[in-house]
C-alpha cells in the first residue's frame, strides 16, 4: 500500500509541470500585454513564470518524497 502511494506521488509529480505549462499557455494572451515583461495570464489566473517555477520546485519535492516513501516500503 505504501509502495503504491510512493509510485502515485512520482507519477503525479511528472504530471504537475506539463499541466502548469498548459495552464500558463492557455491564460497567456500576448496581444493584451502592456509590458514585455508582464504575462497577461498572471493577472487573470495568477499563474505566470513565477507560478511555473513554484510548480517545478513542488513537483521535484513531491517526486523525491514519493521516491523516499517507495524505498522505505521496499525495505520493510
Which pLDDT tens digit goes with each residue over 8-61? 999 999 999 899 888 877 766 566 555 454 555 455 555 677 778 888 999 999
Angle between helices 49-75 and 2-26 (to 10 degrees): 170
12: Cα within 13 Å, side-chain hemisphere: 13
Rounded to whole angstroms, the Cα distance separating 41 from 57 reads: 20
Note the pLDDT of residue 32.
59
Residue 17 has what pLDDT?
87
**pLDDT the model gives residue 51:** 78
Of 72, 49, 73, 20, the residue nearest 40 (C-alpha): 49
Amino acid at each position: 500500500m505504501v509502495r503504491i502511494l510512493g509510485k502515485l506521488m512520482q507519477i503525479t509529480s511528472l504530471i504537475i509541470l506539463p499541466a502548469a505549462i498548459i495552464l500558463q499557455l492557455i491564460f497567456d494572451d500576448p496581444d493584451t500585454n502592456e509590458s514585455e515583461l508582464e504575462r497577461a495570464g498572471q493577472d487573470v489566473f495568477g499563474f505566470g513564470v513565477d507560478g511555473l517555477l513554484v510548480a517545478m520546485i513542488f513537483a521535484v519535492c513531491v517526486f523525491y518524497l514519493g521516491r523516499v516513501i517507495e524505498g522505505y516500503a521496499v525495505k520493510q
